[in-house]
Chains A and B, each alone.
Chain A
Amino acid sequence: MLKSLVVSTPRAVASLVLTLALLCGGPALAQGPDAKVRVTVIHATKDGTSVAPDLGDLAKYLVKSFAPYTAFKTLDRQQVTLAAGASSKLALPNGSELIYRNDGRANGFVALHLEVGGLKTTVNVKDGGTFFQAGRSYEGGMIVLAFAVDP
C-alpha cells in the first residue's frame, strides 16, 4: 500500500524530497526574514506648487509621476518591521483602511500584499525599492501611498 501511494501521488514524493532537503538545513524551518516597510500617506493637490520638505527623496518622483498634481503634503507615516506572514494596519484620512502583509521573500524581492479601498494586490518589491499606490480622491485632490522596503 505504501508503494502504491508513493508511485501514484507525486505530491507525496515532493513532500518527502522537501522534508529531506529540510533535514539538511534544519534552521530553514525557522520563519523567513523580516521586512522593514515604510509607508508614507501623501495628499496630492493642484493648489499651488509646493512639496513638503519632509518628503525628502520622494519629492522628485512625486512631481514626475503625478503631474498634473503640483502640491504634495505628508498626511501620515508608518514604519514597521514585519515578520513573514505578519501584517499591519493604517487608518487613512479618507475613511478607508490600509492593511499590508509580508508574504515572504525570494530572490531579493519581498512580496507585499496590500488591501486598500477595495483593491487587493500583491506587489513584489526589491530590497531598497519603492513604489506608489494612487488614485483615490481626498479633499479636492488625491491620496498617494508610498511604500518602501528597506534592505
Chain B
Amino acid sequence: MANQEEARDAKAEDQALVELAVGGDKKAFRKLVERYQRKIYTIAYGIVRNPDTALDVTQDTFVKVHRNLATFKGDSSFYTWVYRIVLNLCIDRKRREARQAEVDYDDAIAHEDGFTSGPTLASTGIDSPAKAAHRKELVEHMDKALATLSEEHRSILLLREVEGLSYEELAETLNVPKGTVMSRLFHARKNFQKSLSRYLRQ
C-alpha cells in the first residue's frame, strides 16, 4: 500500500516538473534529468555494454525528452515514456554496430522445462552475489552472461530486475502484449541462468 502511495506521489511530482519544464523552467528540467539520469544510464549500459556509448545515449535521451516534452500527455507514467525513448535509441545504436555472437531462444518456442531441470544458480552456494568470496570473478562472469543475451532479453530483464517495472508497465514500455512480456521474461531468465551456470562451472 505504502509503495502504491509512493508511486502515485512520484508520478504527480514528475507531472508537475514536466509542466514547469514545458513552460521553460530550466530548474524543473534539471530536476527531471537528475532524477532519472542514473536509471537511464543503467539501462543504456545494460543494453549497449559500452560506457562511452551509454553516456552518449543517455545524453541523446534527455535531448529528445527536452525536445518532445510538450507532447507528453501524462496518460502513461513519465518514466515509462523515457524508458521507451532510451530503449529505441539503444536499438538504433546497436543496429549500426556489428552483432556479436549471442545465445538466444525464440520466444515463441515453448519451454517444457522449468528453472530446476538443469544446473541451477542456487546450487552454486552463492546466497548473495554482492557478498560472494570471489567477487571480482563473479562480476566478470555475470557481465559475460548478460552479454550473451539478445537486446530484447537484456532489456526486459533490466527493466524488471533493476527498475522493478510491473508486467503492465513492461507491456506499455516495450509496446507488446502482457502475454509476450511473460513469455519473454521467462526466456530471458532461462537464458541468463544457462549462460551464468556455464561460466560459474568453468
A and B touch in the complex (CB under 8 A): yes
Chain A interfacial positions (CB closer than 8 Å to B):
38, 50, 53-56, 74, 77, 79, 148
Complex-state Cα separation, A38 to B59, whole angstroms: 12
Complex-state Cα separation, A53 to B59, whole angstroms: 21
Known: A53-B143, A56-B52. 17 other contacts (CB 8 A): A38-B52, A38-B55, A50-B136, A53-B139, A53-B140, A54-B51, A55-B51, A56-B50, A56-B51, A74-B51, A77-B51, A77-B55, A79-B52, A79-B55, A79-B56, A79-B59, A148-B52
Q: Which residues of A contact B136 (CB under 8 A)?
A: 50
Complex-state Cα separation, A54 to B50, whole angstroms: 7
Q: Which residues of B contact A56 (CB under 8 A)?
A: 50-52
Residue-wise interface mask of B (127-147) relative to A, using a CB-CB cutoff of 8 A (1 in contact, 0 not): 000000000100110010000
Give residues of chain B (50-66) contacting chain A, Cβ–Cβ below 8 Å: 50-52, 55-56, 59
CB of A131 to closest CB in B, whole Å: 16
CB of A105 to closest CB in B, whole Å: 20
CB of B30 to closest CB in A, whole Å: 15
CB of A114 to closest CB in B, whole Å: 20
Q: Which residues of B contact A77 (CB under 8 A)?
A: 51, 55
Q: Which residues of A contact B55 (CB under 8 A)?
A: 38, 77, 79
Complex-state Cα separation, A79 to B59, whole angstroms: 9
19 contacts between A and B (CB under 8 A): A38-B52, A38-B55, A50-B136, A53-B139, A53-B140, A53-B143, A54-B51, A55-B51, A56-B50, A56-B51, A56-B52, A74-B51, A77-B51, A77-B55, A79-B52, A79-B55, A79-B56, A79-B59, A148-B52
Q: Which residues of B contact A74 (CB under 8 A)?
A: 51
Complex-state Cα separation, A89 to B143, whole angstroms: 33
Q: Which residues of B contact A54 (CB under 8 A)?
A: 51
Q: Which residues of B contact A148 (CB under 8 A)?
A: 52
Residue-wise interface mask of B (40-74) relative to A, using a CB-CB cutoff of 8 A (1 in contact, 0 not): 00000000001110011001000000000000000
Complex-state Cα separation, A54 to B56, whole angstroms: 14
CB-nearest residue of chain A to B50: A56
What are the 9 closest A-B residue pairs judged by CB atoms, nearest first? A54-B51, A79-B55, A77-B55, A56-B51, A38-B52, A79-B59, A79-B56, A56-B50, A53-B143
Q: Which residues of A contact B51 (CB under 8 A)?
A: 54-56, 74, 77
Complex-state Cα separation, A74 to B52, whole angstroms: 12
